[in-house]
Amino acid sequence: MASHLRAHALIGQRALFLTTAVLPLTGWAVHAATLHRRLAAARRDPLTGLHARPGYEQHATRRLNRHGEKVLLVFLDMVDFKAVNDSLGHDAGNTVLIATATLLQQWVGPSGVAARLSGDEFAAVLTCTAADRDQRLQQLHHLLHQSVDIDGQAVDVAVSIGASSPSDLHSRDYTYVLRGAEGAMYEHKRERTGLYRIATPKHANEPTVNGRRLGRAGTTAHPLAPEDLR
């Protein structure tokens, strides 16, 4: 009888130990899940629902490493967007941003990634062969150059587009390829000719002024500092 009671006590102690051990682990699991959701939310732009810069960088880097020359990075900047905010208000500007984001997500499809990097700057990454590239970029131009209806008023939208690929830049480095797309976009923005620009190494190595790419308002050409390529 005494041995039977000791056995029950031992089982009870083990059960208590297991319960005590499991509770903290369960708490950490809940905490980890909550943290994961918060990190995922932080990687999304709260206005448009697109990826924010950190999420975009992660997806683009992974795709460049895996698919190399078949990857196309696109950098977009809206033309005269400030005029929309100034004349119609920020709510109207937000409507235009959301419409642009929706169309960009539609263009990349379920296998691509669309992002809002900041303000009226957007980006996308997708797998696209060189043979299909021009057709896809023409589609993007026509898709994004549509009027947006705001309270019965048609607001014209225009976007400058730069695109880059390791096949043209001979590099899979995310920062370098993105710089190429950005440089090509600013050339398109300056010259306002054609539907888009395809990046060359010249675009990836364009000068900057205090960290700002040539082509932005108030910038003039200066030699590219080595740290700007880091």
pLDDT tens digits along 177-188: 999 999 999 999
Instruction: Please tell me the predicted confidence (pLDDT) of residue 207.
Output: 77
What is the residue extent of each domain of the chain?
1-42, 53-229
Q: Which amino acid appears at position 226 of this protein?
A: P
92 SS3 class: helix
CB within 8 A of 146, min separation 6: which ones? Answer: 103, 157
List pLDDT tens digits, range 120-157: 999 999 999 999 999 999 999 999 999 999 989 999 99
pLDDT, mean of residues 1-23? 46
Q: State the architecture of 53-229 in CATH terms.
A: 2-Layer Sandwich (3.30)
Tokens of 149: 């209806």
Instruction: Please tell me the predicted confidence (pLDDT) of residue 115.
Output: 98
Instruction: Please tell me the predicted confidence (pLDDT) of residue 176.
Output: 96
- The kind and range of the H/E element at 4 are helix 2-42
**In whole angstroms, what is the distance from residue 83 CA to residue 103 CA?**
21
**pTM here?**
0.74
Residue 10, pLDDT above cutoff 50: no
Instruction: Please tell me the predicted confidence (pLDDT) of residue 21.
Output: 44
List pLDDT tens digits, range 29-79: 444 444 344 444 458 999 999 999 999 999 999 999 999 999 999 999 999
Q: Decide the pairing of beta strands 159-164 and 197-198.
A: parallel
Instruction: Please tell me the predicted confidence (pLDDT) of residue 209.
Output: 52
